[in-house]
Amino acid sequence: MWQALRNEYHPLGFELVTVGLDALGAEGCRAFIEAAQPQHPALIDQHHLLAELFGITNIPQSVWIDEQGMIVRPAETAPAPPGPPRARAIQPDTALPQRFMEIMGEAMKIPNQADAYHAALRDWVQHGKASRFALAPAAVIERSRPRNESIARGHAHFELATELERRGDHAAATRHFREAHRLVPDSWTFRRQAWSLEPGMAGPLARFWQGPDPNDPASWPYDGDWLTDIRQSGPEHYNDPFVP
Amino acid sequence: MILETLEIDRSTFEAGTGWKLKPEGACKGSVCIPLRPAPGERVSVNEVARQMGLPLVEEPAHGLWALGPESIGGRALTTAEAPDFTLPDLDGRPFHLASLRGQKVLLYAWAPY
């Protein structure tokens, strides 16, 4: 759906750049990118450079950049373009583990502001600087995520963790992921990335398991997991609301 | 940025951190942090990180360091000028964000998990 939107806006001087944040690099993202056959740049971000540079804390999030290279909207939730409801990928008679049913139940409670976000995007594409959704530099900085010394240190731990993962030292990577989680508690991406590198369950949904093995819960190396954390914070707080 | 040594070239530091080293100090957009002594062709990461308030985290068993971002402004963005990063595509070809100057860009972060 993003591809169709990009093709519609492209003649108006607009480009979409997708960036896959994954410590597994190109191999982690390949199947999704090849299936999408994008005509726009589709990049791989093994160390989550975008988190460090722009304050990305969850996915999907977007940053809007104008023709002069100025950010006009900092990182915010970027819902898929609104469209007809998609057919459920999972048939009711499919025997899914209980955990996935619960994950999908919580995910369905996450508010979706696609209409407001995409009305704003269309307005910016058509009107540029004159759009009320294009923010002035001071507002862009002010609206970007808070960052203090301890959050900055958490980013360094996270980058080190992804590099250690790349080098095959999962135990050392886990230590630094844990430290990143402690120092940057509001980053869902930092947690989801680390959880996705644990064994989970076999099959194509393995990386979405995001929690302990029910047969061996004691081996789970993290304090939280997707289901526990979203229930703790409430699915209504999973994304920041869209602020015009 | 990931480091295997703490003495690096100016260009490596600049590409890795997004901070340009000028006679007046380290600069990003219109923001400059004074450095003493004024930066030369080689950068002593420990010293520059201390003066700029950049965190340096070490993993001694691998001889690795990670140099983290600044936090001087209290926000993820120090300036509204988009940093000119370079990332690879699926085939490893580098792509420069600045190559899209003149177009509106929607930078979209996603993940396969």
Residue B107 included in any domain:
no
Residue B27 included in any domain:
yes
Q: Is the dihedral of CA B49, A171, A229, A33 positive or negative?
A: positive
Using the Cβ of B50 and the Cβ atoms of chain A, whether some distance falls under 8 Å is answered with: no
CB contacts, 8 Å: A172 with chain B: 59, 61-62
Q: How confident is the model at residue A197 (pLDDT cuts 50, 70, 90)?
A: very high
- For A80, the 3-state DSSP assignment is coil
Mean pLDDT of chain A: 94
ipTM: 0.97
Check: CB of residue B56 under 8 Å from CB of residue B49.
yes
Topology of domain A2-81+112-143, CATH:
Glutaredoxin (3.40.30)
pLDDT at A204: 79
Strand B104-110 and strand A14-21: the pairing is parallel
Whole-number Å distance between alpha carbons of A162 and A166: 6
Q: What is the DSSP code (8-state) at residue A128?
A: G
Whether pLDDT at A92 is above 70 = no
CB contacts, 8 Å: A163 with chain B: 2, 64, 66
Check: CB of residue B76 under 8 Å from CB of residue B29.
no
CB contacts, 8 Å: A21 with chain B: 109-111
| % of residues, chain B, pLDDT over 90 | 96
Whether pLDDT at A18 is above 90 = yes
More confident residue, A238 or A97: A238
Helix (H) or strand (E) holding B16: helix B10-17
Give mean pLDDT, residues A100-119. 96
Strand partners, A43: A19, B89
Q: What is the domain extent for residue B8?
A: 2-71
Count: domains in chain B:
1
